[in-house]
Structure 1
Amino acid sequence: MQNIWDERYANQEFVYGKEPNIFFKLQLDRLPIGSILMPADGEGRNGVYAAVNGWTVTSCDLSQEGRKKALQLAAERGVTLEYLVGNFEELSFPESAFDAAGLIFAHVQPDQKSLLFQMVDRSLKPGGYVIFEAYSKQHVKHQQLNPTAGGPKNEEHLYSAKELLQSFGHYDIQLLEETEVQQKEGIYHTGTGAVVRLVGRKPLL
């Protein structure tokens, strides 16, 4: 998987654009500024947006090329962020350290989904927020009609609201929905997409 993402991000162009995901921006702007964990941050468009708005950002991804692009974008915008490279299972994140976590199109292997969610839960402070958007299992039909719709082609890699509730059902769920959106995020996320979204707050001690 690392080679696939390195090859994609080696493109001089920012393949998902330089602007943040619209849903992430909308939800982040509602939160008090603090520290945020950004798994699967790719070329850094979302992590850099958070940093520009005063957040202390820790991003991670499999791709060294993604890190290079993210640091380039951060320099363009006059901010800094910590960016770790490696599989999230192999990286070490402090417990109860982050005020928020952004999971934006963080598609992983099916057997890693619950592990990713557990890692995020451990890393969030009590009262911390998770912002999630990714392709839902309904997205397959859009991929069949539009090759630039984006996302994994295997339905098992896609998400459902039920899966999110299995991991975050004990949170204060402020938003949970499966919906369709019009995408214009670089060359890989264009056209109609089916997504699942979650905003939840970790219980206070």
Structure 2
Amino acid sequence: MTRLPAFFNSPTRSYGERPNKYLKEQLDKLTVGTILFPAEGEGRNAVYAAKLGWTVSAFDISVEGQKKATQLAENNEVKIDYQVGELQTMNYIAGQFDAIGLIYAHFPADIKSSYHKTFDKYLKKDGVIIFESFSKKAY
């Protein structure tokens, strides 16, 4: 992942505790189920989904991000399954998730396509990917 593990070492939360606006809008339209948050950072989106009743799995390469996410989940009295590592070390299976939230989840160019193909396999039939990103290209 492009984010360095030390990114979340600050005592403050890099993006706050409230969920990403676009993710919130999309989740509020969906039926609750299972959701995966790759590159979840400090957990604000995962915790929001859990508060709605989703069964949440998340991962990132940052132990500090995981600590903040776990604390945020505890503060909100919800549970999230948050693992630390790269995608290939996770034990997710084909068809496991109803939704995947890729919110500013940027991956190195040499693995991005393979990650996206793998995420697609993890979706159940008719599953949804919620994707918000930015581009280097000006529009």
TM-score, normalised relative to structure 2: 0.94
Total equivalences in the alignment:
139
Match for 2:7: what amino acid? Answer: R
Q: Within 1, Cα distance between the matches of 2:118 and 2:134?
A: 20
Q: Which residue of 1 aligns with 2:75?
A: 76
Gaps in structure 1 of 5+ consecutive residues = 140-177, 179-205
One-letter amino acid of the counterpart of residue 55, structure 2 = T
Residue 18 of structure 1: how far off its partner (Å): 0.7
Q: Which structure would you say has the larger Rg?
A: 1
What do you get for the CA RMSD once the two structures are aligned?
1.6
Indicate the residue corresponding to 1:118 in structure 2: 117
Matched-pair identity in %:
45
> Quick check: 2:95–2:123 contact (8 Å CA) kept in 1?
yes
Query: Aligned pair 1:52/2:51, yes or no?
Result: yes
Deviations 1:177-201 (A, max 9, x none): x7xxxxxxxxxxxxxxxxxxxxxxx
**Aligned CA distance change for structure 1 residues 3 and 102 (closer, same or farther; 3 Å):** closer
- 1:108 and 2:134 matched: no
* 1:128 partner SS: strand
Q: Which secondary structure does the structure 2 equivalent of 1:47 belong to?
A: helix
Q: Which amino acid aligns with 2:132?
A: E
The one of the two structures with greater contact order (alpha-carbon pairs below 8 A, sep at least 6) is 2
Aligned to 2:23: 24
Normalised to the residue count of structure 1, the TM-score between the two structures is 0.65
Aligned to 1:9: 8
